[in-house]
Structure 1
Amino acid sequence: MWLVDSHCHLDMLKLAKTSSGEAAGLEGVLNTARQRGVKHFLCINVNPWHIQQLRDLTAPFQDVSLTLGLHPLHQPEQPVTTEQLIEWGQAEDIAALGETGLDYHYSEQSKEVQLDYFQRHLDAALEVKKPVIVHTREASEDTLALLKPFSEQGGQGIIHCFTENLDFARQAVGMGFYISFSGIVTFHSADALREVAKQIPLDRMLVETDAPYLAPVPHRGKQNEPGYVRDVAEFIAELRGLDTEFLAQQTTENFFRLFPKLLAKVAKQEALLA
């Protein structure tokens, strides 16, 4: 089985301290995930001013890729311009721009700032020709309004940790976006989300953990870890009456269709290990 955790925050995990330091603690978490079939991890940056710390943490791990962006709920330590996002986003080790987007649930008062920064990320992503990782909560109308011209100019990306309705999903898929499901789909209160997971096209589906948040059933109440993406995949496979191996293969193919350069990186790594 080959799974990809398409969204995790490895720098936010509470890691066991070892004599080798924090990275060794992360290696244990990643090894546990690898044993469950997780072969690649997209580690999401939420503050571009902290990207070097994230690089340092993940440098030992060839199966971890990085993004760069400013989360909509994070106020920047200093302004981040579109030009800076373009400059930083051109780096070879940056797979996508984001996490970016809109969140009116927690911070509607910062709506104008969020809209401005979301647009900057979209403009930068078009310039560097890389996907965007989109966070949206209680902002569906504005999110779709900004994504439409982006997609018409060839932009692509992921609606991560999807919690919107089926109509939103269909519109996003129609724009060429991928829909990524987290452990929320396993929650007892998530009937509407499960209906979306049953109906969206399989060739547009991804799975993620959003670790360390939102651990799926049966791990609720624990720190979420990348290895738990298998629980998400198993749940959705059963929901759709599919073999887990098939769903894992499909979501992995979807991920690398969006990130073909990462597939080349994985192929090179496999060749070195052969």
Structure 2
Amino acid sequence: MLIDSHAHLDSFEDLEAVLARARDENISTILAIGIGEGPETMHQALAIAKSHTGVPAIFASVGIHPQEAHQATPEALADLARLAADPKVIAIGEIGLDYYHFDNPDIPTQQAAFISQLKIANDLRKPILIHCRTSELARPDAKAKYGDADAWEDLLSILSTHWPTSNQGIMHCFSGSVDHAARSVEAGFYLSFAGNLTYPKSDEIRQAAQKAPENRILVETDSPFLAPIPYRGQRNEPALVTHTASLLANLRGLTTEALAELTTNNFHRLFPTTMR
């Protein structure tokens, strides 16, 4: 049985069919990400988790994405804290920094929203789901806007100040370097690998996946985005996490069954309330 540690289930109009296909592929659990289209709809993942019964089990997160950081008003943050107190909400996220798109909020706005949500997560003793995307590969207009700022360096610096090492979380859709991976693990994080692990130019991500400690790796889809090869360019969904898991198993010299058991145990260690 596999676990999809990051899926935007509120994006699917045909959700029941999507869940049926996930069940057919032995996906036991899905973490539904509660960012919606902004704070006003971040409750949707929790609504799905609370209304769904059976397999796959569904749990939820809640958070304000860095692209929506300008909407992290006191009222929105209070709503987030209220939703996060629900037992079905097992994490805060996805939150973090994104210096990739020109239209994203400026750096101080993103960092303030991130720090505010770290405080909520710390108060509630819930793990966090990190989104980190730097401007290194961004379009020229975004590079001009964010300059020499490095989202990874800023993120790790903020975590070192505002997130106790005894707390944990997930570096979702890990896309950093081997060094970023090592520093993330040292800071108490798990690394979750998505469909981009299978892409031809993702050599550095694959190196990080090979070297990461076995007790800190997870798999995800980030669906409906980042469909793995051979479905790249199509809509992604939880059933396709098997392709990412298969490649990760091969990279680490494991059978697919062993990789499934390993990542499932890791997920339940991070989120013990999800164990049946």
TM-score, with structure 1 as normaliser: 0.87
Which residue does the alignment assign to 1:88?
83
Matches within 5 A, 1:90-239: 90-107=85-102, 110-138=106-134, 139-152=151-164, 154-239=166-251
- The alignment partner of 1:54 has SS state of helix
Query: Following the alignment from structure 2 to structure 1, what is the Cα–Cα distance between the partners of residues 84 and 44?
Result: 16
Percentage of identical aligned residues:
38
Instruction: Report the CA distance between 1:90 and its aligned residue.
Output: 1.4
Query: Following the alignment from structure 2 to structure 1, what is the Cα–Cα distance between the partners of residues 165 and 250?
Result: 37
| Residue 51 (1) aligns with residue 34 (2) | no
Unaligned runs of 5+ in 2: 135-150
| Residue 255 (1) aligns with residue 267 (2) | yes
Match of 1:66 among 39, 48, 60: 60
2:6–2:172 CA contact under 8 A, matched in 1: yes
2:95–2:128 CA contact under 8 A, matched in 1: yes
Query: Following the alignment from structure 1 to structure 2, what is the Cα–Cα distance between the partners of residues 32 and 175?
Result: 36
The CA deviation string for residues 41-98 of structure 1, in whole angstroms up to 9 with x for no partner, is 0000113421343344444323111101001012555714554433332122211111
TM-score, with structure 2 as normaliser: 0.86
Query: Following the alignment from structure 2 to structure 1, what is the Cα–Cα distance between the partners of residues 206 and 99?
Result: 23
AA matched with 1:74: E
- The alignment partner of 2:222 has SS state of coil
Cα gap change, 1:131 to 1:256, in 2 (>3 Å): same
Query: Following the alignment from structure 1 to structure 2, what is the Cα–Cα distance between the partners of residues 243 and 150?
Result: 39
Query: Following the alignment from structure 2 to structure 1, what is the Cα–Cα distance between the partners of residues 45 and 173?
Result: 21
Instruction: Report the CA distance between 1:170 and its aligned residue.
Output: 0.4
AA matched with 2:28: K
The CA deviation string for residues 114-158 of structure 1, in whole angstroms up to 9 with x for no partner, is 100100111111100000000001110011011123443532100
AA matched with 1:35: D
The CA deviation string for residues 164-190 of structure 1, in whole angstroms up to 9 with x for no partner, is 101111011011100000000000111
**Count of residues in Structure 1 that have an aligned counterpart in Structure 2:** 253
2:165–2:187 CA contact under 8 A, matched in 1: no
The CA deviation string for residues 175-217 of structure 1, in whole angstroms up to 9 with x for no partner, is 1100000000000111111111111111100000000000000
- The alignment partner of 1:152 has SS state of coil
Instruction: Report the CA distance between 1:260 and its aligned residue.
Output: 0.5
2:30–2:59 CA contact under 8 A, matched in 1: yes
1:151–1:176 CA contact under 8 A, matched in 2: no
1:159–1:180 CA contact under 8 A, matched in 2: yes
Which residue does the alignment assign to 1:242?
254
Query: Following the alignment from structure 2 to structure 1, what is the Cα–Cα distance between the partners of residues 236 and 180?
Result: 27
Query: Following the alignment from structure 2 to structure 1, what is the Cα–Cα distance between the partners of residues 79 and 9?
Result: 24
Query: Following the alignment from structure 1 to structure 2, what is the Cα–Cα distance between the partners of residues 123 and 171?
Result: 21
1:83–1:124 CA contact under 8 A, matched in 2: no
